[in-house]
A and B are shown apart, each in its own frame.
Chain A
């Protein structure tokens, strides 16, 4: 097959089924726990049953005598690791991953031992039989917004911003909204549990893992175990979802320890129950918003304060109060993110960290302000469009928010909406509609890539990218094809291997943008080499790129994706049931590489919003300090029957500063989605739900009009 470069239509922007689709639908795609290893042993975690204290003893003798048991690792015998480093993401590692280093128990579900046996059945039974004795101390696990010990902490964004006189602004306002919102502890629960197999082969450490960045995990393992980075290889070919939870975690470290001790490959897989304390989670938040506006809805004062929880071993802040820093301006504008330390596992990044819970509160408060002002919620947002970054003062790279609202309102039929609540009934259901705005920062991180022109006329791209379900492998194939002026069928993209060099992780909606940049740069270099016309030798011609300089040279601007979310809900106030009947999102998301997979990802984010609004909540038992109902029957995520025909659309919105025009689409879909649902519930019933999830008991007790 030949292609004529000058006549070719670009691949970017046209729908392509996933390049690994056939493997995924036939079951041939192998995930981390499925790669064969000879002489494999199985490790099973033993987790603490107390929420705070010390391990007094680990009584291994009986367990070591059980069939098939090879070893029991614990703080008394495990290899030492070093956590005193700054990791791949520019922060020290959460020491929760450094298992078995001391006898302290900082939360219930802390790993206290790893039992390794010849089969998983033997390991499981021995782990269950292992007696661990504790010196238990009183624990403190109850999160509230009123904790006096909450303090400011800078996370991936600054803790506090402020300008103007807030109290004066509120006093001068014709309309004031002052409301408190809460979101519960939420868990990622990718369908594939975290799994790693480690093998020491001479001086090499090889790990097959499920993660969001093979180079990230390899780098951290090298630092933890004081190994030459070049001797550590992490592969992560197919990843069954991540959502922020699949970084460096206890299972990889324990597997490396056990394989080091035993001299044979060891696999460690988290059980679903164990994931509740080992895989990270989104902290609960307690938020207070005060909005002061003129009668026409123009803001004079905005305050957003949020408290979240972290563990006693690491500071992680869920920066929910930061949303307004890019969204809405006011002469008095104050935001603050605070944390409280509890005897709980360390939370971590979870899809739209900060923006997801923060937008629920802020966009609910805006709906309340619209109601109070008697202004249409979309018009209210239009009246509060900032000219520059409200906090940064920087110009916006572009701002597609109102274009999203216009297109969304047209498609959703918003113009016909009667703003009065509680008026529409269909059988036992009260109906309502709601809307909310969305934004998510657009960023890029340095990455490296290698592109090879093969002697047979095809191309191979190697980059340590991760496809956690985003469609990155396919998107990068299309990007590479265009950059190489060839067809996607002539491009092989290999990802998920730390040997391919440093690259951004799949996170922060930055993966595809950062990787595409590196591939584009390498491809450009390769085309120059090929244009020189010396022919391709049998080993091919490879050109490498490193985008560090280019990414660092990005001029400072307010860069964001935007979206407008719309939801229609039905509420049975007699039973408390809430059903989302219709959901529609329109996004300004940068250039869309693959419409097929991009739509799916937007919709997936919106489904997360439905799930967040109505279902998700990890319940912590105050007495034990651990979870109640720690499984997928206790922690509900939306299933098929909860999800209507969700629609996602986008406007033409290429990023002017990105070589491909990409912004990033992984997170924007969830932002504002829960608020749109909650606002629709208000419109249906006349009752505001400021605490998520909107459970049947909450609807029943909220005093909404009965049947």
Chain B
């Protein structure tokens, strides 16, 4: 399809959910469009295409990011995780299970973004990152309790027009609790980077 070689196209290898895909991309192609249109990974949703809704949230090297503002060509070399890569075979990721059990959605279109965002956000919190509603951000204070208000602030980059926020927050809290049970120790108070 692409008239490569051309200065407007490049061959890139994208590492998506552990699989390497080599493809020629128009430099204009965002990671979002590459996932959806080229790799048929349509779980990552296009809600606004402007970084204003969070529906396209994926993990880049373990950190959440919006795929609509990430050029595909610039994503080479990064470990990309999409909603399709969260489950362990048939076993849902605890966040996915919590969203399902607690009805953390309605139409489902923002859901993959909410779930990816939640998965990474829980790690950010565990790594000691403060938020805009954290009272005491001094590193000595350690991570704040992951209250509903902390979850709400940290998840605010994911709009849900159906207004399912209440059940989403409960689902995120449950997913965080599951993670805390399975990772009993090592909450660092001095972290400069979140774990991947």
Residues of A in contact with B (beta carbons under 8 Å apart): 17-18, 20-31, 33-34, 36, 67, 118-121, 125, 188-193, 238-241, 243, 269, 271-272, 468-471, 596-597, 599-601, 603-608, 611, 631-633, 637-641, 643, 645-646
Are A607 and B163 in contact (CB-based, < 8 A)?
yes
Task: Give the docked Cα–Cα distance between A121 and B44 (Å).
Answer: 18
Q: Are A601 and B106 in contact (CB under 8 A)?
A: yes
Known: A17-B103, A31-B45, A241-B162. 19 other contacts (CB 8 A): A17-B101, A24-B108, A25-B92, A26-B43, A26-B84, A26-B86, A191-B159, A272-B49, A600-B103, A603-B166, A633-B50, A633-B52, A638-B163, A638-B165, A640-B152, A640-B160, A641-B153, A643-B165, A646-B166
For window 86-109 of B, CB contacts with A under 8 Å fall at 86-87, 92, 96-97, 99-101, 103, 105-109
Q: Would you mind naming 20 contact pairs between A and B with Cβ atoms under 8 Å apart? A: A21-B100, A26-B86, A29-B108, A31-B45, A121-B29, A190-B109, A190-B161, A191-B107, A191-B161, A192-B47, A241-B109, A272-B52, A600-B162, A606-B163, A607-B165, A611-B163, A631-B48, A639-B165, A640-B153, A641-B149
Contact status A25-B100, CB under 8 Å: yes
B49 adjacent to A241 (CB under 8 Å): no
Structural contact, A118 and B1, CB atoms closer than 8 A: yes
Residue A637 contacts which of B1, B44, B151, B159 (CB distance < 8 angstroms)? B159
B55 part of interface (Cβ distance < 8 Å): yes
A604 in contact with B164 (CB, 8 Å) = yes
Q: Which residues of B contact A34 (CB under 8 A)?
A: 36, 42
| Cβ-closest 3 pairs across A and B | A27-B43, A240-B109, A607-B163
- Which residue of chain B lies nearest to A33 when distances are taken between CB atoms in the complex? B46
Q: Identify the closest chain A residue to B48 (Cβ).
A: A272
CB pair B151–A119 under 8 Å, yes or no, is no
Chain B interface size, under 10 / 10 to 19 / 20 to 34 / 35 or more: 35 or more
**Nearest Cβ on chain B to A240's Cβ, whole angstroms:** 3
Q: Are B109 and A192 in contact (CB under 8 A)?
A: yes
How far apart are the CA atoms of A341 and B46 in the complex, in Å?
Answer: 34
Interface SS of B by simple majority:
loop
Q: By the criterion CB–CB under 8 Å, are A24 and B105 in contact? A: yes
Could you tell me if A240 and B108 are in contact, using CB atoms closer than 8 angstroms? yes
Contacts of A608 in B (CB 8 A): 163
Q: Taking CB as reference atom, which chain B residue is nearest A607?
A: B163
Whether the pair B43, A191 counts as a contact (CB closer than 8 A) is no
Instruction: Output the least CB separation between B10 and chain A (Å).
Output: 14
Q: What are the residues of chain B within 8 A of A597 when measuring CB–CB?
A: 103, 106
- State A640–B158 Cα separation when bound (angstroms): 8
**Chain A residues positioned under 8 Å from B92 (CB to CB):** 22, 25-26
Kindly provide the distance from the CB of B31 to the nearest chain A CB, expressed in whole angstroms.
Answer: 13
Which residues on A sit within 8 Å (CB–CB) of B155?
640
Partner of B159, one of A468, A639, A645: A639
What residues of A have a CB within 8 angstroms of the CB of B37 in the complex? 119-120
Residues of chain B within 8 A (CB-CB) of A188 are 161
Is A272's CB under 8 angstroms from B106's CB? Answer: no
In contact, A18 and B115 (Cβ under 8 angstroms) = no
Which B residues touch A191, using CB under 8 A? 45, 47, 53, 55, 107, 109-110, 159-162
Asked, given contacts A191-B107, A640-B152, whether A22 binds B165 with beta carbons under 8 Å apart, the answer is no
Bound Cα distance A67, B28 (Å): 14
In B49-90, the 8 Å CB interface with A consists of 49-50, 52-53, 55, 82-84, 86-87
B1 touches A27 (CB 8 A): no
**B84 near A637: Cβ-Cβ < 8 Å:** no
Residues of B within 8 A of A606 (CB): 163
Closest chain B residue to A24, Cβ basis = B108
| Pairwise interchain contact B107-A25, C-beta atoms closer than 8 A | no
